Amino acid sequence: MRGWGRLDGPGRVVVGDVELEATRAVVVGVGTRAWAPPIPGLADTPYWTNREALEATEAPASLAVIGGGAIGVELAQAFARFGTAVTVVEAGDRLLGPEEPEASELVTAALGRDGVAAVTSARIQAVRHGPDGFTVEVDGRDPLVAERVLVATGRRSDLRALGAGSIGVDESAPWLPVDDHLRVVGARRTWALGDVTGKGAFTHISMYQADIVVNDVLGREVVPAAYHGLPRVTFTDPEVGAVGVTEAQARSAGIRVRTGAESVPASARGWIHKAGNEGFIKLVEDADRGVLVGATSAGPWGGEVLGLLALAVHAEVPTTSLRHMIYAYPTFHRGIEAAVKDLLGS
Ligand SMILES: Cc1cc2nc3c(=O)[nH]c(=O)nc-3n(C[C@H](O)[C@H](O)[C@H](O)COP(=O)(O)OP(=O)(O)OC[C@H]3O[C@@H](n4cnc5c(N)ncnc54)[C@H](O)[C@@H]3O)c2cc1C
């Protein structure tokens, strides 16, 4: 049925004036909504979220993008290529903060070539809207004037609107807590999947979890959910594919880290590709276990090259096996062999 559902105790959902009782399971897959930070004035303006940006039928003359994460940089580049003058305003000290610093550098340079300006470590004081468009006041800089403002500062769930308290979940929590069978912790007959579980805001997480939920609800055997090999791709040009943890995350987790890298232009395929061949492969190894715990493949088809690396991290393939397998010539994924040699020192 079509409608807005609200949990009403274990196994019960209310949609308008219809009350539903599940004999077996309630599965919550409500996703998240774009979240806007409490910047003075912003809430009173007709700012865009990703939704309005994607519904636009004409490119604005100028656009200020607040937030330089994956969605912010993807849309910044897309609009720039439609002819919009784009400025990305990011609070952190680099774009694509959760990814490797080398990826931030690559994407910042690529955006620069498309005419996108990036302002990092930015403190926005206020956003105003008037007949001449938007004004974004950033600490220590001239005000930024733009026809449109796109807010891309993350996404949040709303457990209160969902009625999560009725199944015993703390409604002020950011996500529905789930176990490795995706059962909502402390709630009977309730499963959750996707963004609302906080395990990674990606379509493939939602689908991976859905498979587990279906099997668990039907009483079939379940392979418990594991997220150590979570892949993701930022679809800028060049693409940034990444899996597992970054070098910094591995180090702060106390892992003895070894890294290896190869630049795409230095590879045979990168040389053949010529223009637009910027990119790199970076590997992060748990040196004590001799397996990769993270990797990045950025460049042309970076998201496709990621496939081999995602398997290596997921299946914990020994780096010595990666060193002695055969990589087809002249492919982009052959860069992985060079990065493994760099990591192992031979
Ligand atoms: C601009 C953008 C680009 C993205 N690009 C990628 C990408 O390239 N790759 C990738 O993997 N992921 C991408 N994502 C993330 C991806 O879209 C989400 O991770 C994914 O859609 C989450 O799936 P979900 O099933 O949890 O929720 P959703 O796909 O959000 O679906 C939830 C649905 O539930 C409905 N709903 C919500 N509350 C209720 C309620 N109370 N009652 C009834 N219905 C309700 C919503 O209207 C919605 O239709 C992107 C997201 C954005 C915003």
Q: Find the 154 Cα to ligand 1 centroid distance in Å.
A: 13
Q: Where are the alpha helices (DSSP H) in the chain?
A: 50-55, 70-81, 101-113, 159-162, 203-217, 247-252, 268-273, 302-315, 319-323, 335-344
Side-by-side strand order, sheet with 85-89: 117-119, 85-89, 62-66, 148-151
Task: Enter the pTM of the model.
Answer: 0.96
How far apart are the C-alpha atoms of 178 and 220, rounded to whole Å? 19
Q: How many CB atoms lie within 10 A of CB 62?
A: 18
Q: How many CB atoms lie within 10 A of CB 178?
A: 24
Residue 164 resides in a domain: no
Do 216 and 222 form a contact (C-beta atoms < 8 A)?
A: yes
Residue 163 resides in a domain: no
Predicted confidence at residue 93, as pLDDT, reads 98
Q: Is the Cβ atom of 286 under 6 angstroms away from ligand 1?
A: no
Which of these three, 127, 155, 183, is where a domain ends? Answer: 155
Q: Where are the alpha helices (DSSP H) in 50-121?
A: 50-55, 70-81, 101-113
Do 172 and 158 form a contact (C-beta atoms < 8 A)?
A: no
Over residues 84-107, the pLDDT tens digits come to 999 999 999 999 999 999 999 999
| pLDDT over 70 percentage in the chain | 100
Residue 112 resides in a domain: yes
CATH number for the domain harbouring residue 278: 3.30.390.30
| Residue nearest atom 41 of ligand 1, based on CA coordinates | 5
Residue 13 resides in a domain: no
Over residues 272-318, the pLDDT tens digits come to 999 999 999 999 999 999 999 999 999 999 999 999 999 999 999 99
| Residue nearest atom 12 of ligand 1, based on CA coordinates | 202
- Residues 195, 97 within the same domain: no
CATH number for the domain harbouring residue 91: 3.50.50.60
How far apart are the C-alpha atoms of 5 and 11, rounded to whole Å? 12
- Residues 284, 335 within the same domain: yes
> Structural domain tally of the chain?
3
Question: Beta partners for 296?
Answer: 242, 282
- Residues 125, 212 within the same domain: no
- Residues 216, 239 within the same domain: no
Over residues 202-217, the pLDDT tens digits come to 999 999 999 999 999 9
- Residues 145, 220 within the same domain: no
Residue 326 resides in a domain: yes
Segments forming the whole domain that contains residue 236: 231-344
